[in-house]
Structure 1
Amino acid sequence: MVLFVAAALGLALMGGSPALAAPALSSEPVGIDVSWPQCGKTLPKQPAFAIVGVNNGLANTTNPCLAAELAWAETAKTPAATSQPRVALYVNTANPGLKGSWWPTSNAYQGKRVANPYGNCATRAFKACSYMYGYAKAYDDAVLRGVRNPASYLWWLDVETENTWQADKSANVAVLEGMTAYFTSIGARVGIYSTGSQWRQIAGSVSSASPLAGLPSWLAGAGSLAGAKTNCSLPGLTPRSRVSMTQYVSGGLDYNFSCR
Protein backbone atom coordinates (compact mmCIF):
# COMPACT_ATOMS: atom_id res chain seq x y z
CA MET A 1 0.00 0.00 0.00
CA VAL A 2 1.17 3.50 -0.63
CA LEU A 3 -0.58 5.71 1.90
CA PHE A 4 -1.25 3.45 4.86
CA VAL A 5 1.01 0.47 4.24
CA ALA A 6 4.01 0.99 2.06
CA ALA A 7 4.89 4.47 3.23
CA ALA A 8 4.09 3.85 6.86
CA LEU A 9 5.64 0.47 7.38
CA GLY A 10 9.39 0.81 7.51
CA LEU A 11 9.69 -2.97 8.03
CA ALA A 12 11.54 -5.41 5.78
CA LEU A 13 13.86 -8.26 5.49
CA MET A 14 17.51 -9.23 5.31
CA GLY A 15 20.08 -8.29 7.93
CA GLY A 16 21.87 -5.06 8.63
CA SER A 17 19.11 -3.23 10.45
CA PRO A 18 17.86 -3.58 14.00
CA ALA A 19 14.70 -5.55 14.68
CA LEU A 20 11.56 -3.49 14.50
CA ALA A 21 9.32 -2.60 17.40
CA ALA A 22 6.61 -4.91 18.68
CA PRO A 23 3.00 -3.73 18.67
CA ALA A 24 1.71 -1.78 21.61
CA LEU A 25 -0.25 -4.82 22.83
CA SER A 26 1.89 -7.78 21.77
CA SER A 27 -0.43 -10.27 23.48
CA GLU A 28 -3.03 -9.62 20.77
CA PRO A 29 -2.93 -12.03 17.79
CA VAL A 30 -2.15 -9.36 15.18
CA GLY A 31 -0.70 -9.68 11.71
CA ILE A 32 1.88 -7.63 9.81
CA ASP A 33 1.91 -6.56 6.16
CA VAL A 34 5.10 -5.84 4.22
CA SER A 35 6.23 -4.85 0.74
CA TRP A 36 9.03 -3.15 -1.18
CA PRO A 37 9.79 -0.42 1.43
CA GLN A 38 10.82 -3.18 3.85
CA CYS A 39 13.72 -4.45 1.75
CA GLY A 40 16.88 -4.58 3.85
CA LYS A 41 15.42 -4.55 7.36
CA THR A 42 14.78 -7.22 9.94
CA LEU A 43 11.16 -8.21 10.49
CA PRO A 44 9.60 -9.51 13.71
CA LYS A 45 9.20 -13.28 13.57
CA GLN A 46 6.00 -15.26 14.01
CA PRO A 47 3.23 -12.73 13.50
CA ALA A 48 -0.26 -14.15 13.88
CA PHE A 49 -0.53 -13.82 10.09
CA ALA A 50 1.33 -12.07 7.29
CA ILE A 51 0.38 -10.18 4.12
CA VAL A 52 2.98 -9.55 1.40
CA GLY A 53 2.83 -6.94 -1.36
CA VAL A 54 3.48 -8.36 -4.82
CA ASN A 55 4.20 -5.06 -6.60
CA ASN A 56 6.79 -2.32 -6.34
CA GLY A 57 4.29 0.48 -5.69
CA LEU A 58 2.68 0.41 -9.16
CA ALA A 59 0.34 -2.13 -10.71
CA ASN A 60 2.79 -3.03 -13.49
CA THR A 61 5.86 -3.69 -11.32
CA THR A 62 7.31 -6.46 -9.14
CA ASN A 63 8.38 -6.17 -5.50
CA PRO A 64 12.16 -6.83 -5.63
CA CYS A 65 12.01 -8.53 -2.22
CA LEU A 66 8.96 -10.67 -2.93
CA ALA A 67 10.69 -14.04 -2.56
CA ALA A 68 12.45 -13.05 0.68
CA GLU A 69 9.29 -11.55 2.15
CA LEU A 70 7.26 -14.62 1.29
CA ALA A 71 9.90 -16.71 3.08
CA TRP A 72 9.54 -14.44 6.11
CA ALA A 73 5.75 -14.73 5.94
CA GLU A 74 6.06 -18.48 6.36
CA THR A 75 7.28 -17.83 9.92
CA ALA A 76 3.70 -16.86 10.82
CA LYS A 77 2.28 -18.92 13.64
CA THR A 78 0.96 -22.43 13.03
CA PRO A 79 -1.85 -23.21 13.37
CA ALA A 80 -3.35 -19.90 12.29
CA ALA A 81 -4.01 -17.71 15.33
CA THR A 82 -7.01 -15.92 13.73
CA SER A 83 -9.59 -16.46 11.02
CA GLN A 84 -7.19 -14.84 8.51
CA PRO A 85 -5.02 -17.07 6.31
CA ARG A 86 -1.49 -17.42 7.66
CA VAL A 87 -0.14 -15.83 4.47
CA ALA A 88 -2.00 -13.59 2.04
CA LEU A 89 -0.95 -11.25 -0.79
CA TYR A 90 -1.89 -7.77 -1.86
CA VAL A 91 -1.53 -6.07 -5.23
CA ASN A 92 -1.54 -2.46 -6.37
CA THR A 93 -4.42 -1.44 -8.61
CA ALA A 94 -4.90 1.48 -11.02
CA ASN A 95 -6.62 2.67 -14.16
CA PRO A 96 -4.07 4.67 -16.18
CA GLY A 97 -6.15 4.61 -19.38
CA LEU A 98 -4.42 5.53 -22.62
CA LYS A 99 -1.66 7.32 -20.69
CA GLY A 100 -0.39 4.04 -19.29
CA SER A 101 2.75 2.31 -20.56
CA TRP A 102 0.44 -0.46 -21.83
CA TRP A 103 -3.26 -0.45 -22.61
CA PRO A 104 -5.26 -3.37 -24.06
CA THR A 105 -6.64 -3.30 -27.60
CA SER A 106 -8.73 -6.49 -27.61
CA ASN A 107 -10.54 -8.98 -25.39
CA ALA A 108 -7.60 -11.38 -25.53
CA TYR A 109 -4.58 -11.63 -23.26
CA GLN A 110 -1.72 -14.12 -23.32
CA GLY A 111 -3.51 -16.17 -25.95
CA LYS A 112 -6.79 -16.42 -24.04
CA ARG A 113 -9.99 -14.75 -25.15
CA VAL A 114 -11.76 -13.25 -22.14
CA ALA A 115 -15.52 -12.99 -21.70
CA ASN A 116 -16.00 -9.25 -21.20
CA PRO A 117 -19.24 -7.99 -19.64
CA TYR A 118 -18.57 -4.47 -21.01
CA GLY A 119 -18.28 -5.37 -24.69
CA ASN A 120 -15.35 -5.48 -27.07
CA CYS A 121 -12.14 -3.64 -26.21
CA ALA A 122 -11.20 -3.80 -29.91
CA THR A 123 -13.82 -1.10 -30.53
CA ARG A 124 -12.03 1.07 -27.94
CA ALA A 125 -14.97 0.87 -25.56
CA PHE A 126 -13.29 2.36 -22.50
CA LYS A 127 -15.00 0.25 -19.83
CA ALA A 128 -14.33 -2.91 -21.84
CA CYS A 129 -10.64 -2.02 -22.10
CA SER A 130 -10.53 -1.09 -18.40
CA TYR A 131 -11.86 -4.56 -17.59
CA MET A 132 -9.16 -6.12 -19.77
CA TYR A 133 -6.48 -3.98 -18.13
CA GLY A 134 -7.49 -5.30 -14.72
CA TYR A 135 -7.65 -8.88 -15.97
CA ALA A 136 -4.17 -8.54 -17.50
CA LYS A 137 -2.59 -7.02 -14.38
CA ALA A 138 -4.02 -9.81 -12.23
CA TYR A 139 -2.67 -12.38 -14.69
CA ASP A 140 0.77 -10.76 -14.50
CA ASP A 141 0.65 -10.72 -10.68
CA ALA A 142 -0.24 -14.40 -10.49
CA VAL A 143 1.90 -15.75 -13.32
CA LEU A 144 4.85 -13.45 -14.00
CA ARG A 145 5.99 -12.14 -10.61
CA GLY A 146 7.28 -15.33 -9.04
CA VAL A 147 4.33 -16.38 -6.88
CA ARG A 148 4.16 -20.14 -6.52
CA ASN A 149 0.73 -21.75 -6.42
CA PRO A 150 -1.17 -18.44 -6.78
CA ALA A 151 -4.54 -20.15 -6.44
CA SER A 152 -3.78 -20.96 -2.80
CA TYR A 153 -3.71 -17.32 -1.67
CA LEU A 154 -6.22 -14.68 -0.71
CA TRP A 155 -5.40 -11.71 -2.97
CA TRP A 156 -6.23 -8.24 -1.60
CA LEU A 157 -6.81 -5.47 -4.17
CA ASP A 158 -5.12 -2.32 -2.84
CA VAL A 159 -7.31 0.62 -3.91
CA GLU A 160 -5.77 4.00 -3.09
CA THR A 161 -5.81 7.50 -4.51
CA GLU A 162 -1.99 7.55 -4.78
CA ASN A 163 -2.26 5.36 -7.87
CA THR A 164 -3.62 6.64 -11.21
CA TRP A 165 -7.40 6.53 -11.65
CA GLN A 166 -9.97 7.87 -14.08
CA ALA A 167 -12.72 10.37 -13.31
CA ASP A 168 -15.12 7.69 -14.62
CA LYS A 169 -15.72 5.64 -11.48
CA SER A 170 -17.56 2.94 -13.40
CA ALA A 171 -14.41 2.37 -15.47
CA ASN A 172 -12.36 2.08 -12.28
CA VAL A 173 -14.83 -0.50 -11.00
CA ALA A 174 -14.41 -2.37 -14.29
CA VAL A 175 -10.65 -2.65 -13.65
CA LEU A 176 -11.25 -4.17 -10.24
CA GLU A 177 -13.89 -6.51 -11.65
CA GLY A 178 -11.42 -7.65 -14.32
CA MET A 179 -8.82 -8.40 -11.66
CA THR A 180 -11.37 -10.27 -9.58
CA ALA A 181 -12.43 -12.26 -12.63
CA TYR A 182 -8.91 -13.50 -13.25
CA PHE A 183 -8.13 -14.40 -9.65
CA THR A 184 -11.42 -16.23 -9.18
CA SER A 185 -10.90 -18.05 -12.50
CA ILE A 186 -7.85 -19.78 -11.00
CA GLY A 187 -9.70 -20.60 -7.78
CA ALA A 188 -8.16 -17.86 -5.62
CA ARG A 189 -10.03 -15.73 -3.09
CA VAL A 190 -10.22 -11.94 -3.41
CA GLY A 191 -10.70 -9.05 -0.98
CA ILE A 192 -10.54 -5.24 -1.15
CA TYR A 193 -8.23 -2.94 0.84
CA SER A 194 -9.01 0.76 1.11
CA THR A 195 -10.61 3.38 3.33
CA GLY A 196 -14.23 4.42 2.98
CA SER A 197 -13.29 7.88 1.70
CA GLN A 198 -10.77 6.64 -0.87
CA TRP A 199 -13.14 3.95 -2.06
CA ARG A 200 -15.92 6.46 -2.61
CA GLN A 201 -13.55 8.75 -4.52
CA ILE A 202 -12.27 5.97 -6.80
CA ALA A 203 -15.15 3.53 -7.17
CA GLY A 204 -18.19 5.26 -5.74
CA SER A 205 -21.29 3.15 -5.32
CA VAL A 206 -21.00 -0.43 -6.57
CA SER A 207 -23.98 -2.39 -7.83
CA SER A 208 -25.14 -5.35 -5.78
CA ALA A 209 -24.83 -7.37 -9.00
CA SER A 210 -21.11 -6.57 -9.34
CA PRO A 211 -18.63 -9.38 -8.64
CA LEU A 212 -17.08 -6.97 -6.12
CA ALA A 213 -20.22 -7.18 -3.97
CA GLY A 214 -19.73 -9.39 -0.95
CA LEU A 215 -15.93 -9.45 -1.11
CA PRO A 216 -14.30 -9.06 2.32
CA SER A 217 -13.10 -5.56 3.22
CA TRP A 218 -9.76 -4.66 4.80
CA LEU A 219 -9.94 -1.13 6.19
CA ALA A 220 -6.95 1.13 6.74
CA GLY A 221 -6.69 4.35 8.71
CA ALA A 222 -6.54 3.51 12.44
CA GLY A 223 -3.75 4.89 14.60
CA SER A 224 -4.01 2.33 17.38
CA LEU A 225 -5.18 -1.19 18.12
CA ALA A 226 -8.23 0.23 19.89
CA GLY A 227 -9.07 2.24 16.77
CA ALA A 228 -8.63 -0.81 14.58
CA LYS A 229 -11.03 -2.78 16.77
CA THR A 230 -13.57 0.04 16.52
CA ASN A 231 -13.24 0.09 12.73
CA CYS A 232 -14.40 -3.51 12.59
CA SER A 233 -17.92 -2.12 13.07
CA LEU A 234 -17.74 0.12 9.99
CA PRO A 235 -19.63 -0.78 6.81
CA GLY A 236 -17.90 -2.92 4.22
CA LEU A 237 -16.72 -1.30 1.01
CA THR A 238 -19.24 -3.02 -1.26
CA PRO A 239 -22.80 -4.35 -0.89
CA ARG A 240 -22.99 -7.44 1.35
CA SER A 241 -19.34 -6.99 2.31
CA ARG A 242 -18.20 -7.37 5.89
CA VAL A 243 -15.07 -5.87 7.40
CA SER A 244 -12.76 -8.84 7.79
CA MET A 245 -9.64 -7.00 8.91
CA THR A 246 -8.46 -3.55 9.96
CA GLN A 247 -5.04 -1.94 9.87
CA TYR A 248 -3.32 0.29 12.43
CA VAL A 249 0.11 1.81 13.03
CA SER A 250 2.17 1.06 16.12
CA GLY A 251 5.84 1.84 16.66
CA GLY A 252 6.22 2.82 13.02
CA LEU A 253 4.87 -0.50 11.76
CA ASP A 254 1.59 -1.48 10.16
CA TYR A 255 -0.31 -4.17 12.03
CA ASN A 256 -3.60 -5.82 11.24
CA PHE A 257 -6.43 -6.89 13.49
CA SER A 258 -8.68 -9.74 12.44
CA CYS A 259 -12.30 -8.75 13.09
CA ARG A 260 -14.37 -11.35 14.91
Structure 2
Amino acid sequence: MRWAVGALVLCLVAACSATSDDETAATAATATPSGSATATPDPPSPTHVDTPAATEAPPPSPEPSRNPLADLVEGIEITDEPLLGADISWPQCPPGLGIAQKRSSGQPMPVPEARYVIIGLTNGPGFYPNPCLRDQVSWARQNGLMAAGYAVASFPEPRFVEQYGQDGPFDGGSEQGALANAGYQQALFNVRTMREAGLPSPAVWIDVEPVPDFAWSGDLSANAAVVTGIARGYTDAGFRIGVYSTPALWAGVVGDLELGVPEWRAAGQTSSDEALARCGADWVIQGGDAIIGQWVERDRDMNLTCPGVTDLSVWFHQF
Protein backbone atom coordinates (compact mmCIF):
# COMPACT_ATOMS: atom_id res chain seq x y z
CA MET A 1 0.00 0.00 0.00
CA ARG A 2 1.47 3.36 -1.03
CA TRP A 3 0.55 6.29 1.23
CA ALA A 4 2.82 8.67 3.08
CA VAL A 5 0.57 9.46 6.00
CA GLY A 6 2.52 7.46 8.54
CA ALA A 7 0.59 7.09 11.75
CA LEU A 8 -2.18 9.52 10.88
CA VAL A 9 -5.64 8.13 11.45
CA LEU A 10 -8.54 9.86 9.75
CA CYS A 11 -12.10 9.11 10.51
CA LEU A 12 -15.35 10.21 8.97
CA VAL A 13 -18.82 9.75 10.32
CA ALA A 14 -21.05 7.33 8.54
CA ALA A 15 -24.71 6.56 8.64
CA CYS A 16 -25.09 3.94 6.03
CA SER A 17 -28.11 3.25 3.95
CA ALA A 18 -29.55 -0.08 5.01
CA THR A 19 -30.65 -2.75 2.59
CA SER A 20 -33.16 -5.52 3.18
CA ASP A 21 -32.04 -8.79 4.78
CA ASP A 22 -31.96 -10.46 1.38
CA GLU A 23 -30.01 -7.60 -0.15
CA THR A 24 -27.54 -7.63 2.74
CA ALA A 25 -26.91 -11.30 2.15
CA ALA A 26 -26.30 -10.70 -1.55
CA THR A 27 -24.47 -7.35 -1.44
CA ALA A 28 -22.73 -5.09 1.03
CA ALA A 29 -24.42 -2.09 2.52
CA THR A 30 -22.34 0.96 1.72
CA ALA A 31 -21.82 4.11 3.68
CA THR A 32 -24.25 6.50 2.02
CA PRO A 33 -21.44 8.68 2.21
CA SER A 34 -23.22 8.46 5.56
CA GLY A 35 -23.27 5.06 7.21
CA SER A 36 -21.92 1.74 8.44
CA ALA A 37 -21.25 -1.01 5.93
CA THR A 38 -20.04 -4.55 5.46
CA ALA A 39 -17.69 -6.07 2.93
CA THR A 40 -19.08 -6.33 -0.59
CA PRO A 41 -19.14 -9.74 -2.32
CA ASP A 42 -18.54 -10.18 -6.02
CA PRO A 43 -21.33 -8.44 -7.95
CA PRO A 44 -24.02 -10.40 -9.78
CA SER A 45 -24.33 -10.25 -13.54
CA PRO A 46 -26.09 -6.95 -14.27
CA THR A 47 -29.52 -6.89 -15.86
CA HIS A 48 -29.71 -5.10 -19.21
CA VAL A 49 -31.69 -1.86 -19.17
CA ASP A 50 -32.83 0.58 -21.83
CA THR A 51 -32.68 4.30 -21.14
CA PRO A 52 -34.53 7.16 -22.83
CA ALA A 53 -32.78 9.30 -25.42
CA ALA A 54 -32.74 13.03 -24.80
CA THR A 55 -34.68 15.15 -27.28
CA GLU A 56 -32.42 18.16 -26.74
CA ALA A 57 -28.67 18.26 -27.25
CA PRO A 58 -26.63 19.14 -24.17
CA PRO A 59 -24.57 22.34 -24.07
CA PRO A 60 -20.80 21.95 -24.41
CA SER A 61 -19.08 20.93 -21.20
CA PRO A 62 -16.93 23.66 -19.61
CA GLU A 63 -13.21 23.08 -19.34
CA PRO A 64 -11.82 22.87 -15.79
CA SER A 65 -10.16 26.17 -14.92
CA ARG A 66 -8.97 25.69 -11.36
CA ASN A 67 -5.30 25.36 -10.51
CA PRO A 68 -3.93 22.05 -9.18
CA LEU A 69 -4.29 21.81 -5.41
CA ALA A 70 -1.76 19.19 -4.44
CA ASP A 71 0.84 21.78 -3.48
CA LEU A 72 -1.62 23.38 -1.06
CA VAL A 73 -1.63 20.35 1.22
CA GLU A 74 1.18 20.85 3.74
CA GLY A 75 3.01 18.03 5.46
CA ILE A 76 1.84 15.18 3.23
CA GLU A 77 3.60 14.07 0.07
CA ILE A 78 0.85 13.37 -2.43
CA THR A 79 2.60 13.49 -5.78
CA ASP A 80 1.48 9.97 -6.51
CA GLU A 81 0.14 8.88 -3.14
CA PRO A 82 -3.38 8.42 -1.70
CA LEU A 83 -4.63 11.43 0.25
CA LEU A 84 -6.82 11.15 3.33
CA GLY A 85 -10.20 12.87 3.40
CA ALA A 86 -13.75 12.67 4.71
CA ASP A 87 -17.42 12.95 3.80
CA ILE A 88 -20.28 14.36 5.86
CA SER A 89 -23.99 15.03 5.49
CA TRP A 90 -27.24 15.34 7.45
CA PRO A 91 -26.25 12.82 10.20
CA GLN A 92 -23.63 15.33 11.37
CA CYS A 93 -26.23 18.11 11.75
CA PRO A 94 -27.36 19.06 15.29
CA PRO A 95 -29.80 16.46 16.63
CA GLY A 96 -33.40 16.51 15.49
CA LEU A 97 -33.11 18.35 12.16
CA GLY A 98 -34.47 17.18 8.84
CA ILE A 99 -37.42 15.18 7.59
CA ALA A 100 -39.11 12.64 9.85
CA GLN A 101 -37.52 9.64 8.12
CA LYS A 102 -34.01 11.11 8.29
CA ARG A 103 -33.58 13.00 11.56
CA SER A 104 -30.05 14.13 12.26
CA SER A 105 -28.22 12.81 15.30
CA GLY A 106 -25.30 15.18 15.78
CA GLN A 107 -22.60 12.72 14.85
CA PRO A 108 -19.04 14.06 15.07
CA MET A 109 -17.40 16.03 12.28
CA PRO A 110 -14.13 14.90 10.67
CA VAL A 111 -10.91 15.00 12.63
CA PRO A 112 -8.41 17.83 12.01
CA GLU A 113 -6.21 15.61 9.82
CA ALA A 114 -8.81 15.62 7.02
CA ARG A 115 -7.47 17.38 3.93
CA TYR A 116 -10.72 17.33 1.96
CA VAL A 117 -14.40 16.80 2.63
CA ILE A 118 -17.25 15.75 0.35
CA ILE A 119 -20.48 17.23 1.67
CA GLY A 120 -23.91 15.67 1.15
CA LEU A 121 -26.46 17.98 -0.44
CA THR A 122 -29.58 15.99 0.45
CA ASN A 123 -31.43 14.92 3.59
CA GLY A 124 -31.52 11.37 2.27
CA PRO A 125 -33.58 11.38 -0.95
CA GLY A 126 -33.67 13.95 -3.72
CA PHE A 127 -35.74 17.14 -3.39
CA TYR A 128 -35.00 17.22 0.37
CA PRO A 129 -31.96 19.40 1.21
CA ASN A 130 -29.39 18.74 3.89
CA PRO A 131 -30.79 20.83 6.78
CA CYS A 132 -27.41 22.19 7.89
CA LEU A 133 -25.55 22.32 4.58
CA ARG A 134 -24.70 26.01 4.91
CA ASP A 135 -23.13 25.40 8.33
CA GLN A 136 -21.12 22.44 7.06
CA VAL A 137 -19.83 24.48 4.14
CA SER A 138 -18.85 27.23 6.57
CA TRP A 139 -17.00 24.64 8.67
CA ALA A 140 -15.04 23.49 5.61
CA ARG A 141 -14.22 27.10 4.75
CA GLN A 142 -13.07 27.92 8.28
CA ASN A 143 -10.80 24.86 8.29
CA GLY A 144 -9.30 25.64 4.89
CA LEU A 145 -10.29 22.29 3.39
CA MET A 146 -10.74 21.19 -0.15
CA ALA A 147 -14.47 20.59 -0.59
CA ALA A 148 -16.89 19.01 -3.03
CA GLY A 149 -20.52 17.90 -3.09
CA TYR A 150 -22.35 14.61 -3.36
CA ALA A 151 -26.07 13.86 -3.59
CA VAL A 152 -28.12 10.73 -3.04
CA ALA A 153 -30.11 9.75 -6.12
CA SER A 154 -33.61 8.49 -5.46
CA PHE A 155 -36.72 7.37 -7.32
CA PRO A 156 -38.99 10.42 -7.56
CA GLU A 157 -42.25 10.44 -5.68
CA PRO A 158 -45.36 10.56 -7.91
CA ARG A 159 -45.92 14.25 -7.12
CA PHE A 160 -42.47 15.11 -8.42
CA VAL A 161 -43.02 13.11 -11.62
CA GLU A 162 -46.30 14.96 -12.12
CA GLN A 163 -44.63 18.29 -11.46
CA TYR A 164 -41.46 17.79 -13.49
CA GLY A 165 -42.21 15.00 -15.97
CA GLN A 166 -42.61 17.41 -18.88
CA ASP A 167 -39.83 19.77 -17.78
CA GLY A 168 -36.50 18.72 -19.21
CA PRO A 169 -34.59 17.52 -22.27
CA PHE A 170 -36.35 14.14 -22.51
CA ASP A 171 -39.63 13.19 -24.16
CA GLY A 172 -42.10 13.52 -21.33
CA GLY A 173 -44.73 11.68 -23.35
CA SER A 174 -43.19 8.36 -22.33
CA GLU A 175 -42.95 6.97 -18.81
CA GLN A 176 -39.18 6.72 -18.95
CA GLY A 177 -38.85 10.18 -20.45
CA ALA A 178 -40.97 11.67 -17.66
CA LEU A 179 -38.86 9.87 -15.05
CA ALA A 180 -35.67 11.11 -16.70
CA ASN A 181 -36.98 14.68 -16.62
CA ALA A 182 -37.85 14.28 -12.93
CA GLY A 183 -34.29 13.07 -12.35
CA TYR A 184 -32.99 16.03 -14.35
CA GLN A 185 -34.89 18.42 -12.08
CA GLN A 186 -33.68 16.53 -9.00
CA ALA A 187 -30.13 17.39 -10.07
CA LEU A 188 -30.99 21.05 -10.71
CA PHE A 189 -32.65 21.25 -7.28
CA ASN A 190 -29.39 20.03 -5.72
CA VAL A 191 -27.37 22.52 -7.77
CA ARG A 192 -29.50 25.36 -6.42
CA THR A 193 -29.13 24.00 -2.89
CA MET A 194 -25.35 23.83 -3.26
CA ARG A 195 -25.05 27.34 -4.66
CA GLU A 196 -27.31 28.83 -1.98
CA ALA A 197 -25.08 27.23 0.67
CA GLY A 198 -21.95 28.77 -0.86
CA LEU A 199 -20.27 25.56 -2.00
CA PRO A 200 -18.46 26.24 -5.30
CA SER A 201 -17.69 22.59 -6.03
CA PRO A 202 -16.50 21.84 -9.57
CA ALA A 203 -18.07 18.38 -9.38
CA VAL A 204 -21.01 16.47 -7.93
CA TRP A 205 -20.85 12.79 -6.99
CA ILE A 206 -24.07 10.83 -7.64
CA ASP A 207 -24.72 8.33 -4.83
CA VAL A 208 -26.61 5.31 -6.24
CA GLU A 209 -27.77 2.69 -3.75
CA PRO A 210 -30.98 1.64 -1.97
CA VAL A 211 -32.60 4.52 -0.08
CA PRO A 212 -34.52 3.36 3.03
CA ASP A 213 -38.08 4.75 3.21
CA PHE A 214 -37.73 6.01 -0.38
CA ALA A 215 -37.36 2.75 -2.27
CA TRP A 216 -36.32 2.47 -5.89
CA SER A 217 -38.86 0.84 -8.18
CA GLY A 218 -38.66 -2.83 -9.15
CA ASP A 219 -38.14 -1.76 -12.78
CA LEU A 220 -34.40 -1.36 -13.37
CA SER A 221 -35.00 0.45 -16.66
CA ALA A 222 -37.18 3.01 -14.88
CA ASN A 223 -34.50 3.48 -12.22
CA ALA A 224 -31.84 3.84 -14.90
CA ALA A 225 -33.92 6.53 -16.60
CA VAL A 226 -33.95 8.55 -13.37
CA VAL A 227 -30.17 8.24 -12.94
CA THR A 228 -29.61 9.12 -16.59
CA GLY A 229 -31.67 12.26 -16.11
CA ILE A 230 -29.78 13.16 -12.92
CA ALA A 231 -26.44 12.81 -14.68
CA ARG A 232 -27.63 14.98 -17.57
CA GLY A 233 -28.90 17.64 -15.15
CA TYR A 234 -25.52 18.09 -13.50
CA THR A 235 -23.55 18.12 -16.73
CA ASP A 236 -25.96 20.59 -18.36
CA ALA A 237 -25.44 22.83 -15.33
CA GLY A 238 -21.70 22.74 -15.98
CA PHE A 239 -20.50 20.23 -13.38
CA ARG A 240 -18.15 17.31 -13.66
CA ILE A 241 -19.83 14.13 -12.36
CA GLY A 242 -18.86 10.82 -10.82
CA VAL A 243 -20.76 8.00 -9.14
CA TYR A 244 -20.55 6.59 -5.62
CA SER A 245 -21.63 2.96 -5.18
CA THR A 246 -20.44 -0.65 -5.32
CA PRO A 247 -20.78 -2.95 -8.32
CA ALA A 248 -23.47 -5.00 -6.57
CA LEU A 249 -25.55 -2.06 -5.38
CA TRP A 250 -25.30 -0.29 -8.73
CA ALA A 251 -26.45 -3.39 -10.60
CA GLY A 252 -29.26 -3.93 -8.10
CA VAL A 253 -30.64 -0.44 -8.74
CA VAL A 254 -29.94 0.30 -12.42
CA GLY A 255 -28.86 -3.00 -13.98
CA ASP A 256 -26.15 -2.68 -16.62
CA LEU A 257 -26.42 1.09 -17.08
CA GLU A 258 -22.97 2.49 -17.95
CA LEU A 259 -22.37 6.20 -17.67
CA GLY A 260 -18.62 5.68 -18.00
CA VAL A 261 -17.86 8.44 -15.50
CA PRO A 262 -15.26 8.39 -12.69
CA GLU A 263 -16.02 6.38 -9.58
CA TRP A 264 -15.92 6.79 -5.80
CA ARG A 265 -15.90 3.19 -4.58
CA ALA A 266 -17.21 2.05 -1.20
CA ALA A 267 -15.58 -0.82 0.69
CA GLY A 268 -17.82 -0.86 3.78
CA GLN A 269 -16.54 -1.79 7.23
CA THR A 270 -13.19 -3.10 6.09
CA SER A 271 -9.82 -1.32 6.04
CA SER A 272 -7.69 1.22 4.24
CA ASP A 273 -6.03 -1.64 2.37
CA GLU A 274 -9.41 -2.81 1.09
CA ALA A 275 -10.43 0.73 0.17
CA LEU A 276 -7.29 1.04 -1.96
CA ALA A 277 -7.92 -2.40 -3.43
CA ARG A 278 -11.28 -1.09 -4.66
CA CYS A 279 -9.32 1.28 -6.88
CA GLY A 280 -8.41 -1.76 -8.98
CA ALA A 281 -9.97 -3.15 -12.14
CA ASP A 282 -11.89 -5.86 -10.28
CA TRP A 283 -14.23 -3.28 -8.74
CA VAL A 284 -15.36 -1.21 -11.71
CA ILE A 285 -18.93 -0.01 -11.11
CA GLN A 286 -20.09 1.36 -14.46
CA GLY A 287 -17.08 1.66 -16.73
CA GLY A 288 -15.27 4.60 -15.12
CA ASP A 289 -11.87 5.24 -13.56
CA ALA A 290 -11.41 4.99 -9.78
CA ILE A 291 -10.83 8.33 -8.03
CA ILE A 292 -11.58 7.66 -4.35
CA GLY A 293 -11.89 4.57 -2.14
CA GLN A 294 -13.96 4.71 1.06
CA TRP A 295 -14.17 2.45 4.08
CA VAL A 296 -15.95 2.65 7.44
CA GLU A 297 -14.08 2.40 10.71
CA ARG A 298 -15.36 3.10 14.25
CA ASP A 299 -18.60 4.61 12.92
CA ARG A 300 -16.85 7.06 10.64
CA ASP A 301 -16.29 7.12 6.90
CA MET A 302 -12.69 7.36 5.77
CA ASN A 303 -11.55 8.16 2.25
CA LEU A 304 -8.37 7.85 0.26
CA THR A 305 -7.71 9.14 -3.22
CA CYS A 306 -6.69 6.30 -5.50
CA PRO A 307 -3.02 5.90 -6.46
CA GLY A 308 -2.10 8.11 -9.37
CA VAL A 309 -4.89 10.65 -8.76
CA THR A 310 -2.93 13.88 -8.34
CA ASP A 311 -4.87 16.79 -9.87
CA LEU A 312 -7.57 17.34 -7.28
CA SER A 313 -8.60 20.67 -8.76
CA VAL A 314 -11.05 18.92 -11.06
CA TRP A 315 -12.89 17.44 -8.08
CA PHE A 316 -12.52 19.94 -5.24
CA HIS A 317 -12.68 23.63 -4.46
CA GLN A 318 -9.93 24.85 -2.15
CA PHE A 319 -11.28 27.03 0.64
Q: Who is 1:200 aligned against?
A: 251
Q: Who is 1:148 aligned against?
A: 198
Q: Who is 2:299 aligned against?
A: 252
- The gaps in structure 1 that reach 5 residues or longer are 10-26, 79-85
Would the aligned equivalents of 1:246 and 1:256 in 2 still touch at CA under 8 Å?
Answer: yes
Gap change, CA 1:75 and 1:149, over 3 Å in 2: closer
TM-score (norm 2): 0.62
How far the C-alpha of 1:75 sits from its partner, in A, is 5.3
Q: Who is 1:48 aligned against?
A: 115
- The gaps in structure 2 that reach 5 residues or longer are 1-14, 18-30, 38-80, 95-107, 308-319
Would the aligned equivalents of 1:32 and 1:49 in 2 still touch at CA under 8 Å?
Answer: yes
How far the C-alpha of 1:42 sits from its partner, in A, is 4.5
Q: Per the alignment, in what secondary structure is the counterpart of residue 8 of structure 1?
A: coil
Q: Per the alignment, in what secondary structure is the counterpart of residue 267 of structure 2?
A: strand
Q: For 2:224 and 2:216, how far apart are their aligned partners in 1?
A: 10
Q: Who is 2:180 aligned against?
A: 131
Q: How does 1:213-252 map to 2 (within 5 A)?
A: 213=260, 215-222=261-268, 223-233=270-280, 234-239=282-287, 241-252=288-299
Q: How does 1:59-70 map to 2 (within 5 A)?
A: 59-70=126-137
Would the aligned equivalents of 2:90 and 2:120 in 1 still touch at CA under 8 Å?
Answer: yes
Q: For 2:158 and 2:223, how far apart are their aligned partners in 1?
A: 14
Would the aligned equivalents of 2:123 and 2:129 in 1 still touch at CA under 8 Å?
Answer: yes
Q: 1:93 aligns with which of 127, 141, 153?
A: 153
Q: Who is 2:8 aligned against?
A: none
Q: For 2:164 and 2:132, how far apart are their aligned partners in 1?
A: 33
Q: Per the alignment, in what secondary structure is the counterpart of residue 137 of structure 1?
A: helix
How far the C-alpha of 1:106 sits from its partner, in A, is 6.3
**Identity rate, percent:** 27
Q: Per the alignment, in what secondary structure is the counterpart of residue 33 of structure 1?
A: strand
How far the C-alpha of 1:179 sits from its partner, in A, is 1.2
RMSD over equivalenced CA pairs, Å:
2.5
TM-score (norm 1): 0.75
Q: For 2:164 and 2:87, how far apart are their aligned partners in 1?
A: 35
Q: Which amino acid aligns with 1:33?
A: D
Gap change, CA 1:62 and 1:172, over 3 Å in 2: same
Q: Which amino acid aligns with 2:35?
A: A
Q: 1:185 aligns with which of 225, 236, 251?
A: 236
Cα deviation digits, residues 50-89 of structure 1 (max 9, x gap): 10001111112011110111122235667xxxxxxx2111
Q: For 1:71 and 1:46, how far apart are their aligned partners in 2?
A: 17
Would the aligned equivalents of 1:224 and 1:248 in 2 still touch at CA under 8 Å?
Answer: yes
Q: For 1:53 and 1:106, how far apart are their aligned partners in 2?
A: 23
Q: Which amino acid aligns with 2:296?
A: V
Q: For 2:153 and 2:116, how far apart are their aligned partners in 1?
A: 23
Q: Who is 2:74 aligned against?
A: none
Q: Which amino acid aligns with 2:114?
A: P
